[in-house]
């Protein structure tokens, strides 16, 4: 706090006093005491009190920023996009926005519309002492982190007319408990190579599992052609007979439909007849 004095030289007296160390927006009592400069000074009997209120600081806000969404990472670190701009500076005043902003989510877990608090912005300039800065409040989402399953391999199988599949190995996730009743299914039931095996039924659990999403794994494997056992038995008939019997025996590990195509062709015979043989079986 400071004080000042002035000399009265005329009947009319006006003087401007400068007082420093005051707080903006605060009430103060200012006392004025008059004293003459005679050899034995005469002091004013009672000081004159003046009521004074200092002007409040002007509040500035920041616009032009938007909070950014992020994938769950276990921290409250946030970010923002856009260009920060000061709002509220009086025309002609010298005030600038600076500093190193830090953006922080109010929560670290997966939620939508989380408050993003801002700190670190500062103001500078000749007139900055007349202002106060309100840091921005933004919002953004934290979305679930995607997890994938490792450690399992699809198993080839022989064609059986179904899409039922299987896998070997131990399914693994880091930091989250993997459970559920898994089901493996070929995308096609037909014979082929590199057929996609789709997985379903895996689930995740544990305290932080709500911050994750699980992608069921896919595995490429083959469906092999079924092995068919074949044998035939031929009957001898007279060369002048109009027909004869040929027995074909097929066997396979699983029930499937098999088509047998055949043709007959002429051969040589000791007499006047024709020999017929089974030419093609598939």
Residue 190 phi/psi, 5-degree rounding, is -85, 160
User: Do strands 145-148 and 80-87 pair parallel, antiparallel, or not at all (unpaired)?
Assistant: unpaired
Number of Cβ within a 10 Å radius of residue 224? 13
Supply the pTM of this predicted model: 0.60
Distance CA 34, CA 6 (A): 10
Query: In tens digits, what is the pLDDT along the chain, a chain of 282 residues?
Result: 455 565 655 555 566 565 666 666 666 666 666 665 555 655 555 666 665 555 678 999 999 999 999 999 999 999 999 999 999 999 999 999 999 999 999 999 999 999 999 999 999 999 998 899 999 999 999 999 998 888 999 999 988 889 999 999 998 886 677 888 889 999 999 889 999 999 999 998 888 888 999 988 899 999 887 766 666 665 555 555 556 666 666 666 666 666 665 555 555 444 444 455 544 443
């Amino acid at each position: 706090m400071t004080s000042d004095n002035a000399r009265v030289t005329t009947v009319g007296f006006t003087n401007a006093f400068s007082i420093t160390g005051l707080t903006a927006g605060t009430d103060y009592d200012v006392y004025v005491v008059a004293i003459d400069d005679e050899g034995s000074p005469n002091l004013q009997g009672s000081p004159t009190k003046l009521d004074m209120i200092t002007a409040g600081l002007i509040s500035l806000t920041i616009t032009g920023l938007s909070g950014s969404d992020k994938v769950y990472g276990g921290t409250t670190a946030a970010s923002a996009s856009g260009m920060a701009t000061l709002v509220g500076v009086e025309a002609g005043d010298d005030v600038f926005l600076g500093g190193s902003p830090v953006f922080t989510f109010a929560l670290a877990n997966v939620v939508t519309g989380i408050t993003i608090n801002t700190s670190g912005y500062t103001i500078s300039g000749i007139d900055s002492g007349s202002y106060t800065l309100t840091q921005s409040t933004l919002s953004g989402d934290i979305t679930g982190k995607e997890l994938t399953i490792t450690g399992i391999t699809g198993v080839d199988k022989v064609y059986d007319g179904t899409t039922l599949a299987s896998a070997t190995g131990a399914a693994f996730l880091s930091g989250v408990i993997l459970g559920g009743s898994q089901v493996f299914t070929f995308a096609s039931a037909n014979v082929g190579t590199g057929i996609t095996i789709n997985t379903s039924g895996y689930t995740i659990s544990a305290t932080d599992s709500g911050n994750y999403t699980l992608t069921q794994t896919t595995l490429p494997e083959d469906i092999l052609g079924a092995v068919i056992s074949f044998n035939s038995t031929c009957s001898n008939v007279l060369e002048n007979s109009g027909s004869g019997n040929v027995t074909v025996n097929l066997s396979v590990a699983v029930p499937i439909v098999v088509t047998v195509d055949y043709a007959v062709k002429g051969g040589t015979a000791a007499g006047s007849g024709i020999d017929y043989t089974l030419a093609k079986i598939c």
